[in-house]
Amino acid sequence: MAKQRVVVVGGGLGGLWATLRLAEAGHSVDLFSMFQVKRSHSCCAQGGINAVLDIKGQHDSIEQHITDTIKGGDYLGDQPPIKTMCQDAPGLVHTYDRMGVTFSRTPEGIMDQRLFGGVKNRRTCFAGATTGAQLLYGIDEQVRAHEGGGRVRKLEFWEFLSLVLDDQGVCRGVAALNVRNMKVETFRADVVLLATGGAGLIWGRSTMSTNCTGAAAARAYQQGAKFANGEFAQFHPTAMKGHDKLRLMSEACRGEGGRIWVPRKAGDTRLGRDIPENERFYFLEEWYPAYGNTSPRDVASRAIVRVTRHMGLGVRGQDIVYLDLTHKSREFLEARLGGILDMYQTFAGVDPYTNPMEVFPSMHYTMGGLWVGFDKDGQTGGMARISPKNHATSVPGLYACGECDFAYHGANRLGANSLLSASFSGRVAGDAAAAYLKNLKSGCDKVPDSVYDAERQRQAEINQALLARTGGENASTLHHQLGELMQQYVFVERDNAGLDKALAGIAELKERGRKISLDDKGNWSNQSLPWARQVQDMIVLGEVMTKCARLRDECRGSHYKAEFELKQPEGKFAGDPEYEAYTEKWKANNERWLKHSIATHTPAGPQVEYWPVDSSVMPPTKPRDYR
Amino acid sequence: MDKVIHFKIKRQDGPNSQPYWEEFKMPYAPQHNVISALLYLREHPVNTRGQRVAPVAWESNCMEEVCGACSMLVNGVPRQACAALVDDLEQPIVLEPLTKFPIIRDLAVDRQKMFDALIRVKAWVPLDGSQDVHEPAPRISPADQALRYVYSRCMTCGCCMEACPQYHDHSDFIGPALFGQVALHNSHPTGGFFKADRLHALMDPGGIAGCGNAQNCFKVCPKDIPLTHAIGELGRQTTVQWLRDLLMK
Ligand SMILES: Cc1cc2nc3c(=O)[nH]c(=O)nc-3n(C[C@H](O)[C@H](O)[C@H](O)COP(=O)(O)OP(=O)(O)OC[C@H]3O[C@@H](n4cnc5c(N)ncnc54)[C@H](O)[C@@H]3O)c2cc1C
Ligand code: SF4
Ligand code: SF4
Ligand code: FES
């Protein structure tokens, strides 16, 4: 067989890990990215990465990390991969440490660990306030060493457009757009990995980088890859407002004593700092006295939506609440939250030491993504460490890893678990692709040129049609409208009437998307063209997410429909007949809904079916009880 | 239009075209930064003469000054445009591409040579593979970590290169950012094993001798990376290396 060829699309943590593993295994890798990989969205993560090192005498354990991850995801995550990820996490962060990542240290010079949301133990390794950037740089440098050695060829400023599938439906390469000279080319590959990140832009604006459109996953989906659990998206309660991006104000603000409030008088026009104490409504403290301002993400997000949209008490009548730290001393705030508050000052132009900050929930993370499989290790009950089944999508020869896949986080992800899953899944997917290559009978060199020519032609024609059209719709306008629908109806609270409206709106946008015309007709570095295509693909993926949300009539993790909430009977406990009846309902609901929703593309829209979840590590036997 | 945001943008259709100025006015809204305003103009690309034109080309990703993509000259200063708040800027806001790198189009430039230089100076910690070696990495004191952390925040944005008088088309000077990266990797317990390789790269033509010590680089770095400190430190390290090489001959 001719020398085997590998394509990796995406150079965030997921794609770089996969590339590194493949290069180490002796393969030559073509690494595609829309821009220099060092600028990938992974660099935005601030908080940290989870791994049980148990350095604080808390008797933290890997079992506990597994339990927290499974329960955090409301049991919707396949458990064998979760188990193996948690087991391998300590070795993974030590490898990052060996790469020279500047992790924060204890006085003894070992990696320090801090507390993060949703867990009891200090389990999160961090590098100042820029953990994501530091991890990304660490792995980027390792890949650069292989680039220097000739194993890795970077194709930066190339945008993946489509898969090249042979007549058996096997993935044999990709078509990509050179975003400088605007030419489409195809690249032969024996195996293709997608590591193209999250899809926050479908909500218009999010905490994610502005390139996180999900378009690449949408393209694979439209060519037959199954998309799983699309309805599950995490909304962070406290993000800044912004024209371009909703910048994250870390949970640490509330952890350090930040209070959330709105003026008691609707439409109060005074500045926040001028509103006297007795005219402030600390709704989280009033509604949830036990947790108050540190209520979990989903509870806080829903409360904020209730107070603004249902009660009309948002600041200046808008979707805004105050996150207030002004009662804390400047010295305290500088020491504990300096970096975050500087960011608020920079981007809002308002001093958060003397003014309450203006925030609102924002789309933050896509738990759903391309469906990928795993190979269960019968001996350990975990995932087999090396197998071509791991991270394989439903399209033969196509793998996916990082935020664009659906694995590990179930219905909700724990803080600091996704830098872990992006890295770990990249490593596993790289090894899996290498295993696939070993078994591959017939390589892409046997695929006739005509297959590649046809795909190139098809993509070039789409571009030409876009360039030729005049007087049509504006891509950015459609994008805003998609975002408005998603923000309104596919947000922290959902109901079926609203979701139906969203689906109708999306159907209309899809239609109008076919009429987009461009303000730039040029053939050099034309940024309007890829953007128009991304917007069309976002509409397609938005439809999948909305449809899956419409169909899932229950509350699970981040997906909340009040109509279907199973309420724990107040003051009743196990043994009480009311509680037992509730437990029965809970079991019946799991019977119906503890399943992955799996969307398949058809010309008429997504077809959704339900696949079982592998709960073999920790089967759900009784409901969670936080009382 | 009542209150407006007024831009004067230096445009260039391609690497070999002539540059020209184009002005845009858009409705004022509070809390715009330069990139969010460019996003508005992408949707409404109408210049002050009322012509609908091709939207301005630029680069940006993170919108929070960590990815390094959006470097340009904002009112003459090299900086991250996403962190340049309109309310803080004098109008018309003048946007120009960085001048030390080949122009792709409008405000987008080609910074590939910075990344190539990272290969040249071997800016990484060599590993025997990314597998778990079942042994932790060497310990690093909090003080050393703190210094390394400062260097490790370099986002290869190019602002320092723009400000450096020695870095230009007709010179092979490697540029200030690379000194920070060599200092970073030389200071790592195992990265330091390969110190000599990096120092030799800096002793080659275009290396550290090219620095005229003007200190402009440090002043513009959005991450406050102490580049002049790195240059001083590497000056010493290269001298020691030079002596060592002599003795080894
Ligand atoms: C503000 C913020 C803070 C966060 N903080 C944390 C944290 O503290 N801890 C934690 O665990 N997680 C955190 N996360 C989540 C975490 O950062 C991401 O889930 C993770 O970095 C995703 O990595 P990735 O490799 O999958 O994708 P990315 O880093 O997004 O990389 C995607 C890559 O794909 C490429 N690409 C995409 N489409 C195409 C295409 N069509 N053609 C070519 N290339 C393409 C891009 O160029 C890029 O290189 C945070 C997220 C946000 C938004
Ligand atoms: S100190 Fe050296 S590197 Fe920095 S600006 Fe001056 S000449 Fe350039
Ligand atoms: S040293 Fe500073 S200015 Fe220079 S590239 Fe790095 S971050 Fe940018
Ligand atoms: S867009 Fe990332 S630094 Fe400005």
Q: Determine the distance separating the centroid of ligand 2 and the alpha carbon of B96, expressed in angstroms.
A: 22
For the cut 80, the answer to whether the pLDDT of residue A625 exceeds it is no
Mean per-residue pLDDT, A269-295: 92
Judged by CB atoms within 8 Å, which residues 98-117 of B form the interface with A?
104-105, 108, 111, 115
Percent of chain B with pLDDT over 70: 100
* Sequence-ordered strand ranges (E) for chain B: 4-11, 20-27, 71-74, 77-80, 93-96, 103-105, 108-109
Q: Does B62 touch chain A (CB under 8 A)?
A: yes
Domain check: are B79 and B138 in the same one? no
Give yes or no for a contact between A337 and A253, defined as CB atoms under 8 angstroms apart: yes
Edge-to-edge strands, sheet with A357-366: A233-240, A357-366, A321-324, A259-263, A280-281
A528–B130 C-beta distance less than 8 A: no
pTM: 0.97
For the cut 80, the answer to whether the pLDDT of residue B2 exceeds it is no
User: What is the structure's pLDDT at B248?
Assistant: 84
| A182 pLDDT tier (thresholds 50, 70, 90) | very high
Give yes or no for a contact between A197 and A40, defined as CB atoms under 8 angstroms apart: yes
ipTM entry: 0.97
Angle at alpha carbon of residue B204, lines to B201 and B206, rounded to 5°: 100
Mean per-residue pLDDT, A23-27: 96
Q: Determine the distance separating the centroid of ligand 1 and the alpha carbon of A394, expressed in angstroms.
A: 22
Asked which of B109, B124, B159 is the last residue of a domain, the reply is B109
User: What is the structure's pLDDT at B101?
Assistant: 97
Mean per-residue pLDDT, A604-619: 97
**Non-local CB neighbours of B170 within 8 Å, separated by 6+ positions:** none
Chain A residues inside the 8 Å CB shell of B155: 38-39, 43, 133
For residue B130, give the nearest of A20, A110, A127 by CB distance. A20
**Non-local CB neighbours of A274 within 8 Å, separated by 6+ positions:** none
| A297 pLDDT tier (thresholds 50, 70, 90) | confident
| A289 pLDDT tier (thresholds 50, 70, 90) | confident
Residue A30, strand partner residues: A7, A153
| A250 pLDDT tier (thresholds 50, 70, 90) | confident
Catalytic residue among A205, A297, A302, A427: A297
User: What is the structure's pLDDT at A332?
Assistant: 87
Report residues whose beta carbon is within 6 angstroms of any ligand 2 atom. Answer: B 163-166, 176, 211-217, 227-228, 231
Mean per-residue pLDDT, A275-304: 91
For the cut 60, the answer to whether the pLDDT of residue A118 exceeds it is yes
| B170 pLDDT tier (thresholds 50, 70, 90) | confident
Give yes or no for a contact between A158 and A196, defined as CB atoms under 8 angstroms apart: no
Testing ligand 3's pocket by substitution, the residue of B121, B221, B229, B234 carrying the most ligand atoms inside 8 A of its CB is B221
Structural domain including B195 reads 112-248
Q: Does B142 touch chain A (CB under 8 A)?
A: yes
Nearest ligand to the C-alpha atom of residue B207: 2
Q: Which of A35, A36, A529, A534 to mutate to test the interface with B (most CBs of B within 10 A)?
A: A36
Q: Which two tokens stand for residue A208?
A: 């994610």
For the cut 80, the answer to whether the pLDDT of residue A627 exceeds it is no
User: What is the structure's pLDDT at A626?
Assistant: 63
Mean per-residue pLDDT, A233-240: 96
Domain check: are B138 and B181 in the same one? yes
For the cut 60, the answer to whether the pLDDT of residue B236 exceeds it is yes
CATH code of residue B176:
1.10.1060.10
Taking CA atoms, what residue in B is nearest to A99? B125
Domain check: are B26 and B59 in the same one? yes
Domain check: are B85 and B182 in the same one? no
What secondary structure, in 3-state letters, does A183-218 show?
CEEEEECCEEEECCCCCHHHHCCCCCCCCCCCHHHH
User: What is the structure's pLDDT at A41?
Assistant: 98
Residue with tokens 């609901």: A589
**Who wins on pLDDT, A255 or A483?**
A483
Lowest mean pLDDT among A253-257, A267-271, A457-461, A549-553: A253-257
A347–B33 C-beta distance less than 8 A: yes
CA A528 to chain centroid, in Å, comes to 25
User: What is the structure's pLDDT at B42?
Assistant: 96
Judged by CB atoms within 8 Å, which residues 351-390 of A form the interface with B?
none
Domain check: are B137 and B149 in the same one? yes
A134–B66 C-beta distance less than 8 A: no
Report the distance separating Cα A506 and Cα B11, nearest Å.
Answer: 36
Of B11, B7, B158, the residue nearest B71 (C-alpha): B158
User: What is the structure's pLDDT at A3?
Assistant: 85
**Who wins on pLDDT, A291 or B82?**
B82
Domain check: are B136 and B89 in the same one? no
Taking CA atoms, what residue in A is nearest to B16? A524
In the chain, the amino acid numbered B184 is L
Report the distance separating Cα B65 and Cα B115, nearest Å.
Answer: 19
For the cut 80, the answer to whether the pLDDT of residue A440 exceeds it is yes
Mean per-residue pLDDT, B125-139: 94
pLDDT tens, residue by residue, A74-93 = 999 999 999 999 999 999 99
Report residues whose beta carbon is within 6 angstroms of any ligand 4 atom. Answer: B 60-63, 65-70, 80, 82
Chain B residues inside the 8 Å CB shell of A210: 39, 60-63
Report the distance separating Cα A99 and Cα A102, nearest Å.
Answer: 9
For residue B137, give the nearest of A44, A94, A244 by CB distance. A94
- Provide the 10 A C-beta neighbour count for residue A335: 10
| A55 pLDDT tier (thresholds 50, 70, 90) | very high
Domain check: are B93 and B116 in the same one? no
Q: Which of A137, A358, A424 to mutate to test the interface with B (most CBs of B within 10 A)?
A: A137
**Non-local CB neighbours of B19 within 8 Å, separated by 6+ positions:** B10, B11, B12
Asked which of B85, B109, B133 is the last residue of a domain, the reply is B109
Report the distance separating Cα A75 and Cα B218, nearest Å.
Answer: 51
Pairing of strands A191-194, A595-600: unpaired
Domain ranges of chain A: 236-364
Nearest ligand to the C-alpha atom of residue B224: 3
Count structural domains, chain B: 2
Domain check: are B90 and B156 in the same one? no
User: What is the structure's pLDDT at A290?
Assistant: 82
pLDDT tens, residue by residue, A320-379 = 999 999 999 999 898 778 888 988 998 998 999 999 999 999 999 999 999 999 999 999
Q: Whose CA is nearest to atom 1 of ligand 3?
A: B177
Judged by CB atoms within 8 Å, which residues 574-603 of A form the interface with B?
none
| A1 pLDDT tier (thresholds 50, 70, 90) | low
Mean per-residue pLDDT, A165-169: 97
Q: Does A43 touch chain B (CB under 8 A)?
A: yes
Q: Determine the distance separating the centroid of ligand 1 and the alpha carbon of B235, expressed in angstroms.
A: 38
Asked which of B109, B136, B154 is the last residue of a domain, the reply is B109
Angle at alpha carbon of residue A538, lines to A537 and A539, rounded to 5°: 90
Domain check: are B55 and B127 in the same one? no
pLDDT tens, residue by residue, B12-28 = 999 999 999 999 999 99
For the cut 90, the answer to whether the pLDDT of residue B90 exceeds it is yes
Protein fold of A236-364: Flavocytochrome C3; Chain A, domain 1 (3.90.700)
For the cut 60, the answer to whether the pLDDT of residue B1 exceeds it is no
Work out which ligand 4 atom sits closest to the CA atom of B155: 3
Q: Is A297 a catalytic residue?
A: yes
Domain check: are B240 and B117 in the same one? yes
Domain check: are B153 and B222 in the same one? yes
Of A31, A128, A137, the residue nearest B191 (C-alpha): A137
For the cut 90, the answer to whether the pLDDT of residue A291 exceeds it is no
Residue with tokens 């896949």: A405
Testing ligand 4's pocket by substitution, the residue of B64, B85, B221 carrying the most ligand atoms inside 8 A of its CB is B64
User: Sign of the CA dihedral B123, B124, B126, B130?
Assistant: negative
Percent of chain A with pLDDT over 70: 99
Supply the mean pLDDT for chain A.
95
User: What is the structure's pLDDT at A2?
Assistant: 67
Q: Does B152 touch chain A (CB under 8 A)?
A: yes
Q: Which of B62, B111, B133, B178 to mutate to test the interface with A (most CBs of A within 10 A)?
A: B62
Distance from CA of B67 to the nearest CA of A (A): 5
Mean per-residue pLDDT, B48-71: 97
Report the distance separating Cα A285 and Cα A541, nearest Å.
Answer: 37
Testing ligand 1's pocket by substitution, the residue of A29, A33, A119, A531 carrying the most ligand atoms inside 8 A of its CB is A33
User: What is the structure's pLDDT at A338?
Assistant: 83
CATH code of residue B74:
3.10.20.30
A519–B55 C-beta distance less than 8 A: yes
Nearest ligand to the C-alpha atom of residue B206: 2
Report the distance separating Cα A240 and Cα A341, nearest Å.
Answer: 11
Q: Determine the distance separating the centroid of ligand 2 and the alpha carbon of B188, expressed in angstroms.
A: 24
